[in-house]
Amino acid sequence: MSRRRMVYEGKAKILYEGPEPHLLVQYFKDDATAFNAEKKAVLDGKGVLNNRISEYMMTRLGEIGIPHHFVKRLNMREQLIKKVEIIPLEVIVRNVAAGTMAKRLGLEEGERLPRAVVEFCYKKDELGDPLVAEEHISAFGWATPPEVDDMVSLALRTNDFMCGLFAGVGIRLVDFKLEFGRLFENETVRTILADEISPDSCRLWDMDTNKKLDKDRFRRDLGGVTEAYSEVARRLGILRDSGDGADVVDFKGGSK
Ligand code: CDP
């Protein structure tokens, strides 16, 4: 594995020092956690798939002018990213009722929302990432009002683009979570997309069958988690089918 100095270890990823001070290396682990890490497992190949899917999503979003931290993929499990100061909020965009929103508001899971809804949760594991209002965000100084405006507008543009991208491959984008960071560049600060966009952070349902192709397979013990992530990658054209049913990705591929 890497000889680089570790900067941070999260539940599914590790950050290492990059080759230059303004860069980091983001390493995708196979570890899966849910319910605030009460449920844990190692899912062979998940990190390799999320590295590729997140690279794909960030690259496509960059092409339509959404600023992000992704620089380039280094190997099967690692990508070079720009160093940012992470804003301590999870920005959730929802198109269809599911998960905690369905529970909180007594909605039927699968019910289409009247319009896309953006929610903020305060990133604090000890508290289970509570839902917060813009009032809390500015009162406690987690982000400035202009940063909140940037996050809402970038999250909605990302949602529009991703809804179309996934619909094109027969997948409904139910909801997803984004994280943003502050990029300090020549005396200016910009709000850019950070973290990852993958089936770990999205709810993705097959449009015809409603089959879940995301982390809910792990949360709800439905099985076939990495198979579902592979299916997403295959439909997006990231994975080729080798003909014998095996994907052309070396799931054991470690960092080089
Ligand atoms: O996932 P859960 O039901 O606990 O929470 P949610 O608020 O319904 O999640 C909305 C979306 O954000 C889902 O696509 C989750 O996968 C994603 N999410 C995430 O990636 N990380 C979190 N800490 C919380 C939610």
Give the pLDDT confidence of 159-174 residue by residue, as tens digits: 999 999 999 999 999 9
Ligand 1 atom having least distance to the Cα of 131: 7
CB distance 55 to 73 below 8 Å: yes
- Evaluate if residue 255 carries a pLDDT over 50: no
Cα(201) to ligand 1 centroid in Å equals: 6
Ligand 1 atom having least distance to the Cα of 129: 23
Burial of 206 (0-12, 13-18, 19+ CB in 10 A): middle
Cα(93) to ligand 1 centroid in Å equals: 10
CATH topology of domain 85-206: D-amino Acid Aminotransferase; Chain A, domain 1 (3.30.470)
Of the candidates 222, 241, 176, 166, the residue with the CA atom closest to the CA atom of residue 202: 176
Cα(197) to ligand 1 centroid in Å equals: 12
- Evaluate if residue 246 carries a pLDDT over 90: no
CB distance 113 to 94 below 8 Å: yes
Residue 247, pLDDT score:
55
- pLDDT tens string 190-216: 999 999 999 999 999 999 999 999 999
The residues facing 179 across adjacent strands are 194
Positive or negative torsion for Cα 65, 66, 72, 77: negative
Kindly compute the dihedral angle of the four CA atoms of residues 137, 141, 143, 148, in this order, to the nearest 10 degrees: 40
Kindly state if the Cβ of 175 falls inside 6 Å of ligand 1: yes
Q: How far is CA 176 from CA 49, 138, 240, in A?
A: 17, 23, 25
Residue with tokens 């905690």: 100
Cα(100) to ligand 1 centroid in Å equals: 8
What are the residue ranges spanned by the domains of the chain? Answer: 6-84+225-249, 85-206
Q: How confident is the model at residue 244 (pLDDT cuts 50, 70, 90)?
A: very low
Distance from the first to the final alpha carbon of the chain? 7
CB distance 88 to 116 below 8 Å: no
Kindly state if the Cβ of 195 falls inside 6 Å of ligand 1: no
Kindly state if the Cβ of 179 falls inside 6 Å of ligand 1: no
Report the length, in residues, of the chain: 256
- Evaluate if residue 106 carries a pLDDT over 80: yes
Cα(48)–Cα(75) distance, integer angstroms: 9
Cα(34)–Cα(11) distance, integer angstroms: 10
Residue with tokens 């960092």: 255
Percent of the chain with pLDDT over 90: 90
Average pLDDT over every residue of 135-159: 98
Kindly state if the Cβ of 91 falls inside 6 Å of ligand 1: no
- Evaluate if residue 251 carries a pLDDT over 80: no
Cα(177) to ligand 1 centroid in Å equals: 6
For the chain, the 3-state helix, strand and coil shares in percent, each to the nearest 5, are: 30, 35, 40
Cα(21) to ligand 1 centroid in Å equals: 32
CB distance 89 to 181 below 8 Å: no
Residue 252, pLDDT score:
47
Residue 240, pLDDT score:
78
Q: Is 62 helix (H, G, I), strand (E, B) or coil?
A: helix
Positive or negative torsion for Cα 15, 28, 12, 64: positive
Element (DSSP H or E) covering residue 159: helix 145-167
Kindly state if the Cβ of 137 falls inside 6 Å of ligand 1: no
Domain 6-84+225-249 in CATH 3.90.550.10? The answer is no
